[in-house]
Structure 1
Amino acid sequence: MSEENKKQQLSQAFYSQTPEEVLKELDATADGLSAAEAKKRLSEYGENELEEGKKKSMAQKFFEQFKDLMILVLLVAAIISAPHEPVDSIIILLVVIINAVMGVVQESKAEAAIEALKDMSTPNANVMRDGHALSIKSTDLVPGDIVLLEAGDVVPADMRLIEASSLKIEEAALTGESVPVEKELVVLEGNEIGIGDRINMAYSNSNVTYGRGKGVVVNTGMNTEVGKIAGMLAAADETETPLKNNLNHLGKFLTAAILVIAVIMFLFGTLINGTPWMDMLLTSVSLAVAAIPEGLPAIVTIILALGTQVLAKRNSIIRKLPAVETLGSTDIIASDKTGTLTLNQMTVEKLYTNDRQYPS
């Protein structure tokens, strides 16, 4: 299969073709690929799995914990006070290090749990190879493979159905519709048909709820519909939580206020009282260090860590500690009738206030 055909395959509207045309397009047959051809295509297309971003090392995770402004202020305070107030400096450094360690531990535990769930959710696929049905890892699927589906299966890749016997597939993760879709082998007209209306297709990570079917794999890995969603999520900017924003604002305010007070005190002592500038500098630094709430990051971290334990008991995995506060500050979750978040919009139907109801 040429590189040009591969690129065309990714954007081809297979639902508007007959099963025979799709098989011809993918250079496949209803009896499946040969083992040699499957191995060749696996090296060309790669494994059927979602790509992960570059994993951070333990050192990277540790140093990322020091990006917070309040933490940086504490580090500066610890360095400045070290020659004159070694005890205070050591305490501040211990608080900062404990805060960083707890953040790294929580992130590592969450990633380990997510990896475990990922391993559990990688099912085998029943395919036709060399004219025989066999079970292989879903990660070894390639375009052109013939996959056998039955009730209870997780669809392992995007495929064009070539056989369907009372086949119903639940596609809520992609379409938001909780009712299983009854699949048919009809050829659909047009190139702009929504995923929910493509009744001759089966999509990766959807669930077979009833019947049997057979399909030819047309897209794998990041080229599947769920892979496109994963790609968009990976490209999304990381937003700051309300807690991080508030702590950053507090850190900026305290830093500015402390610096202003320390400078005023230094100038007042040296210019008006005539105190030696070195003595006054040490006094100003001591004041600045004393004014910094070094216990605040530790208290916040401990509270958030306790929150992750409560959520863990309810089977919720939290990767980053500040996410706990984000959940706590959520006032309204807008969802449609299936309980899935779709358009990210909410429409006011009625307004009720002060014992009166108003039309929208």
Structure 2
Amino acid sequence: MSTKLSAYNQEAQAVIDSLESHVETGLTAAVAAQRLEEFGPNELKAEAHSTLLQKFIEQFKDFMIIILVIAAAVSFVASHEWHDAVIILLVVVLNAIMGVVQEAKAEEAIDALKEMASPDARVRRDGNVMTVKSHDLVPGDIVLLEAGDIVPADMRLIEANSLKVEEAALTGESVPVDKDISVIAEEGAGIGDRHNMVFSSTNVTYGRALAIVTATGMNTEVGHIASMLASAEKTKTPLQRDQDRLGKTLTIMILVIAAVTFIVGLLRGRQIPDMLLVSISLAVAAIPEGLPAISTIILSIGTQTMADRKALVRTLPAVETLGGTQIICSDKTGTLTLNKMTIEKAYYDGVLHNASEGLDLDLPLLRSIVLANDTEVDAEGNLIGDPTETAMVKFALDKGYPLAERLASFPRVGEIPFDSTRKLMTTVHPLADGRYLVATKGAPDQLLKRCLHKDFGGQVTDLTDADRQAILTENTGMARQALRVLAGAYKIIDQLPIKFESEELEHDLIFAGLVGMIDPERQEAADAIAVAKGAGMRTVMITGDHAETAQAIAERLGILNPNEDNHHHVMTGAELDAISDQELEARVQDLSVYARVSPEHKVRIIKAWQSKGK
């Protein structure tokens, strides 16, 4: 058995056979135990925590600290003046204790976060469905997934029913990705394009699926990122480098001055023991023993300030690097943006409107996108479901739409769930007069094919070719602004169909309008980028999302200026693969946005900037 498969290039059954598993029964308990022993637990390998003693000793590896310890020893041995030696050692020990405390606190907090992030998984073993801890999963396990689940390992899909997975944490894509089981012929497809795979630490937002585990622990895509981080070259901070240089320079100067003083004293007839004592005392007095203490206190204050802002700083010197930053390389989704889809434009009654405008709560478009929607509202009023759908409900609620009242008035009696082939969702609701309302939402190009009429201003008229062209033009215009566009439609039927199928319901629809949404930029991010720019720092966006979306957000944030030719091109991961490291280094200063990239690309970009001395 081998787990080193390009599982997305093979039929699901071929992957199942390679992993010696069975769809109906899964693995046996004995085989699962054997594989757990072979592959280890399904968790990321954390660097072993050093002991408190090791952390304490680590604090003494700073050059300035070493000089202070030597000075204390020399001072005590040469002059037997223990006061100076004790004071110097006290400063050094307090400095070390503060560093140890900070690192221990940060490790404690990180461990607590890891513990919170360990989900359960539903698997088939010995023919039964059972719940196991995710760290007990092994390659070959058959896993059941549904909306709300955290994907516990990398898996090849076997069955997928209207499955959507939010992969922003891994790929940076701002909207959930439609998944299906079809084979991908392309060799080396990027993570974001592997539609028949689901990856560890991503979230199922819609639908259900059956999948087989192909990789666990450090063999997953998330594990690959962890490996790269663990193998990253450790470098000193600018402050540490400056302190080392200062320490070495002071040491040389002090030794030279002490030697000159010693020689001059001898030439003037002084005794060797006397001049030795004078030279050593001069050397000890010249060493700035207060410098490490002052820098530690300042860094501690910075660390506490970061903690107040919910940021963990593991080691004291790390906080100083913020002050030495020249280039800020940032992800997009959830960092520069809210990671929350928001409606910005709405097209209805033949006119494009900003989402901030008021509207009629009986608008057919509003009714269609709210009813053909699986969003749920929990006891605290939070919206739960697919981000695209929750954006529509949030839009309606913000306008004062009486959601609970309307859902009670229009109970759902039938539905055709969304699937990636039709790209539509339809629900059926009884009306007071005995007829039924059919509400449909989905991709504009697919929905328009099924519409014969339009409802503009409450008047239902035929949908002409000119109308279709005008609607598609508005759709294209919003798409060029990187908005995700969905359409709404409806119709009234006299009786329920025998079967709730597309052929029975999704035809002769009345077009109601379009909504355009995006994961909007954080206002505080735009302000921060402007402040950083004023301070001489440049912001570069590196995201796994699509190029059009990345460019639109970059322009809105001020990372790209659409009126300038330079810094305007968005480089994709495919383009990065086509050039050498030397070519990237030559071009890196002209690029501000990278899209559809993988973790390896991020490392290349960082190294290219560092090659420029940044």
What's the TM-score once normalised by structure 2's chain length?
Answer: 0.54
1:175 alignment counterpart: 171
Counterparts of 1:203-218 in structure 2 under 5 Å? Answer: 203-218=199-214
Alignment equivalent of 1:193, drawn from 175, 189, 194: 189
1:30 deviates by: 1.2
- Output the amino acid matched with 2:314: R
Per-residue CA distance 1:175-227 (angstroms, 9 max, x = gap)? 22222211011111032111111000001111212222121001111111111
1:22 alignment counterpart: 15
Query: Percent identity between the aligned chains?
Result: 57
Q: Aligned Cα RMSD in Å?
A: 2.1
CA contact (8 A) 2:332 2:542 kept: no
Distance (Å, rounded) in 2 between the aligned partners of 1:143 and 1:187: 20
1:343 deviates by: 7.6
1:89 alignment counterpart: 85
Q: In structure 1, list runs of 5 or more residues that go unmatched.
A: 350-356
Counterparts of 1:331-342 in structure 2 under 5 Å? Answer: 331-335=326-330, 337-338=332-333, 339=335, 342=542
Q: Greater relative contact order (Cα 8 A, min sep 6): structure 1 or 2? A: 1
Distance (Å, rounded) in 1 between the aligned partners of 2:252 and 2:167: 53
| Higher mean displacement: 172-181 or 66-75 | 172-181
Is 2:108 aligned against 1:80? no
Alignment equivalent of 1:100, drawn from 90, 96, 101: 96
Distance 1:337 1:86, change over 3 A: closer
Q: Could you say which structure has the higher strand fraction?
A: 2
2:68 partner SS: helix
- Output the amino acid matched with 1:298: A
Alignment equivalent of 2:110, drawn from 111, 114, 117: 114
Is 2:257 aligned against 1:57? no
Per-residue CA distance 1:23-81 (angstroms, 9 max, x = gap)? 11111111321222211221121111111233322221111111111001101100000
Q: Could you say which structure has the higher helix fraction?
A: 1
1:274 alignment counterpart: 269
- Output the amino acid matched with 2:223: G
Distance (Å, rounded) in 2 between the aligned partners of 1:314 and 1:221: 31
1:44 partner SS: helix
Alignment equivalent of 2:34, drawn from 40, 63, 66: 40
- Output the amino acid matched with 2:102: Q
Q: Alignment length, in residue pairs?
A: 344
Alignment equivalent of 2:282, drawn from 277, 283, 287: 287
Distance (Å, rounded) in 2 between the aligned partners of 1:211 and 1:269: 88
1:202 alignment counterpart: 198
Distance (Å, rounded) in 2 between the aligned partners of 1:235 and 1:330: 22
Alignment equivalent of 1:234, drawn from 212, 224, 230: 230
Distance (Å, rounded) in 2 between the aligned partners of 1:236 and 1:359: 34
- Output the amino acid matched with 1:67: K
Distance (Å, rounded) in 2 between the aligned partners of 1:301 and 1:311: 15
1:300 alignment counterpart: 295
1:24 partner SS: helix
Alignment equivalent of 1:225, drawn from 211, 221, 242: 221
Distance (Å, rounded) in 2 between the aligned partners of 1:337 and 1:319: 24
1:235 deviates by: 1.2
1:332 deviates by: 4.2
Q: Which runs of 4+ in 1 moved over 3 A?
A: 334-344
2:65 alignment counterpart: 71
Distance 1:177 1:151, change over 3 A: same
1:336 deviates by: 5.8
- Output the amino acid matched with 1:80: V
1:65 partner SS: helix
- Output the amino acid matched with 1:121: A
